[in-house]
């Protein structure tokens, strides 16, 4: 074919993109200097960041790690500006463990290592499913390691769930599903209230297997915050799901109780519930009842988180199209099978950001227990500053506490993003 002057006879070799539009230079030009206004704002922001970093780094790298008091820090600094990190070196174990006996730190460390093992198969589906057996046993192992005492207490408590499951299996065929579910709840409650204590004491008298007991007043620091936070987070999600389903129930009593509980708890500040737990709850207990203060706080924080979790899950249920419910009916599934296989997995996937946000809020709210006298990290910081050697220390303690909370909360946030990407099934 003859060459035509307006048709190219050969392809031009592919060239590299201009340096100003690719790589780091291209990113800077596109994001920081794309217009005169952006350029001015970028320069001002960089100047502000530089001034903050220039003032912060000398303060952070202060050579005061070996100081044993605030006055010694000032002598080392010789009038210069810098942090007094000696307080962290001297009191970091107290900030982590509170007044827990130092010879028993291994129990706390082992407990939280086992916590990682227990939650791993729940958070990551690639692990063997048999590990879920340990995840189910861990809630009974955790309090025994932390508080000590006889091993038969958690064993008898776990037996209550087994009795409830057995009652449900036996009653389902004879009495029907609703009666079986009621018995599955009543049997464990009766067991725990009236029989668990005597049975545990009887077995312990024959076979005394126990750890050295530790009183709750020795709990403190991040150990206390993590204990309250983990228990409240783990229990509030299933309770919140039940409350969300109860709020949508066609049964008037169930719906009214669920709505009343949710609205009452959400309408009351958490600090009010904590004051109720610390002062008023014992008034309603039988005379002579010793109801552990940490257990009371855990119950109130869990109920508070459950009410907010119920609204998050309800939002996920409301976001599902009506066709999903109709599809479950078309397959002939009953209510619970439809919820377990079709409705709830999709609702929880939609609710992941709200669920994790609630978890993070609950974990940060554990610092409120310092107001009722429990020595969480904030409460311990006040005790440390009351020491004459460290009177006047503020930023170092609060900075260390903030860093630890940031690590936990940021980890939960990143896991939430990982889970959202993993469960993303729609078209991109």
Q: What is the pLDDT of residue 356?
A: 92
pLDDT-wise least confident of 42-51, 169-178, 332-341 = 169-178
**Bridge partners of residue 150, in order along the sequence:** 210
Q: Do 219 and 297 touch, CB atoms closer than 8 A?
A: no
Average pLDDT over residues 299-304: 92
pLDDT-wise least confident of 144-148, 203-207, 421-425 = 421-425
Per DSSP, the three-state class of 150 is: strand
Average pLDDT over residues 42-58: 92
The answer on pLDDT for 221 being more than 60 is: yes
The answer on pLDDT for 47 being more than 80 is: yes
Average pLDDT over residues 244-256: 88
Q: What is the pLDDT of residue 420?
A: 84
Q: What is the pLDDT of residue 387?
A: 87
Average pLDDT over residues 41-48: 93
Q: Please give the structure tokens belonging to residue 294.
A: 């940490």
Q: What is the pLDDT of residue 428?
A: 45
User: If pLDDT is split at 50, 70 and 90, which confidence band does 303 have?
Assistant: very high
Residues 225, 213: Cα–Cα separation, whole Å = 20
Q: What is the pLDDT of residue 427?
A: 45
Residues 355, 315: Cα–Cα separation, whole Å = 11
User: If pLDDT is split at 50, 70 and 90, which confidence band does 248 have?
Assistant: confident
- pTM as predicted: 0.84
User: If pLDDT is split at 50, 70 and 90, which confidence band does 5 have?
Assistant: low
Q: Give the residue carrying structure tokens 């940031």.
A: 406
User: If pLDDT is split at 50, 70 and 90, which confidence band does 226 have?
Assistant: very high
pLDDT-above-90 percentage for the chain: 39
The answer on pLDDT for 9 being more than 80 is: no
Q: Do 224 and 369 touch, CB atoms closer than 8 A?
A: yes
pLDDT tens-digit readout, 114-138: 999 999 988 887 888 888 889 888 9
Residues 359, 363: Cα–Cα separation, whole Å = 6
Q: What is the pLDDT of residue 88?
A: 93
Instruction: Return left, alpha or beta for 376; rule: phi > 0 is left, psi -120 to 50 is alpha, else beta.
Output: beta
pLDDT tens-digit readout, 78-102: 878 889 999 999 999 999 999 999 9
User: If pLDDT is split at 50, 70 and 90, which confidence band does 20 have?
Assistant: low
Average pLDDT over residues 56-61: 88
User: If pLDDT is split at 50, 70 and 90, which confidence band does 288 have?
Assistant: low
Residues 148, 211: Cα–Cα separation, whole Å = 5
Q: What is the pLDDT of residue 127?
A: 84
**Residues whose CB falls within 8 Å of the CB of residue 183, separated by 6 or more in sequence, listed in order:** 164, 167, 168, 171, 175
pLDDT tens-digit readout, 363-418: 999 999 988 888 889 989 988 988 888 988 899 999 999 999 999 999 999 998 88
The answer on pLDDT for 362 being more than 90 is: yes
Q: What is the pLDDT of residue 2?
A: 55
User: If pLDDT is split at 50, 70 and 90, which confidence band does 326 have?
Assistant: confident
Domains plus CATH for the chain?
Answer: 27-60 (no CATH), 149-211 (no CATH), 219-397+406-428 (1.10.3720.10)
User: If pLDDT is split at 50, 70 and 90, which confidence band does 164 have?
Assistant: confident
Can you list the alpha helix ranges (DSSP code H) found in 320-394? Answer: 322-330, 335-338, 344-350, 352-365, 377-386
Average pLDDT over residues 231-247: 92
Mean pLDDT, the chain, integer = 87
Cα–Cα–Cα angle for 188, 223, 362, rounded to 5 degrees? 70
Residues 378, 364: Cα–Cα separation, whole Å = 11
Helices 86-97 and 105-123: angle between axes, nearest 10 degrees: 70
Q: Give the residue carrying structure tokens 């031009």.
A: 12
């Amino acid at each position: 074919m003859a060459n035509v002057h307006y048709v190219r006879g050969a392809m031009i070799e592919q060239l590299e993109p201009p340096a100003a539009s690719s790589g780091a230079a291209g990113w800077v030009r596109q994001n920081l200097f794309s217009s005169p206004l952006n350029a001015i704002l970028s320069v001002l922001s960089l100047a502000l960041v530089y001034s903050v970093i220039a003032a912060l780094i000398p303060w952070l790298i202060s050579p005061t790690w070996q100081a044993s008091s605030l006055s010694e820090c000032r002598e080392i600094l010789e009038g210069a500006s810098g942090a007094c990190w000696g307080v962290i070196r001297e009191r970091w174990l107290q900030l982590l463990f509170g007044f827990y006996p130092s010879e028993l730190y291994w129990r706390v460390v082992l407990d939280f290592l086992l916590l990682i093992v227990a939650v791993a198969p729940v958070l990551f589906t690639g692990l063997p499913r048999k590990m879920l057996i340990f995840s189910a046993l861990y809630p009974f192992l955790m309090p025994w390691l932390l508080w000590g005492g006889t091993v038969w207490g958690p064993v008898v408590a776990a037996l209550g769930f087994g009795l409830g499951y057995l009652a449900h299996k036996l009653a389902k065929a004879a009495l029907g599903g609703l009666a079986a579910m009621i018995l599955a709840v009543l049997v464990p409650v009766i067991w725990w209230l009236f029989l668990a204590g005597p049975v545990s004491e009887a077995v312990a008298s024959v076979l005394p297997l126990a750890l050295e007991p530790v009183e709750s007043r020795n709990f403190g620091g991040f150990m206390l915050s993590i204990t309250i936070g983990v228990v409240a987070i783990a229990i509030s999600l299933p309770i919140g799901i039940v409350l969300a389903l109860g709020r949508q129930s066609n049964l008037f009593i169930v719906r009214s109780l669920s709505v009343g509980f949710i609205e009452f708890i959400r309408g009351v500040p958490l600090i009010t519930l904590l004051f109720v737990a610390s002062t008023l709850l014992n008034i309603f207990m039988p005379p002579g009842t010793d109801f552990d203060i940490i257990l009371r706080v855990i119950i109130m924080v869990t109920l508070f988180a459950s009410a907010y979790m119920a609204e998050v899950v309800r939002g996920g249920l409301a976001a599902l199209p009506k066709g999903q419910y109709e599809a479950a009916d078309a397959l002939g599934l009953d209510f619970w099978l439809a919820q377990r296989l079709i409705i709830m997995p999709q609702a929880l996937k939609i609710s992941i950001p709200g669920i994790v946000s609630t978890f993070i809020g609950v974990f940060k709210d554990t610092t409120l227990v310092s107001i009722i006298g429990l020595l969480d990290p904030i409460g311990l910081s006040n005790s440390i500053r009351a020491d004459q050697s460290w009177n006047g220390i503020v930023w170092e303690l609060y900075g260390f506490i903030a860093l630890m909370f940031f690590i936990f909360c940021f980890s939960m946030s990143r896991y939430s993003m990982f889970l959202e990407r993993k469960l993303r099934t729609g078209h991109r």
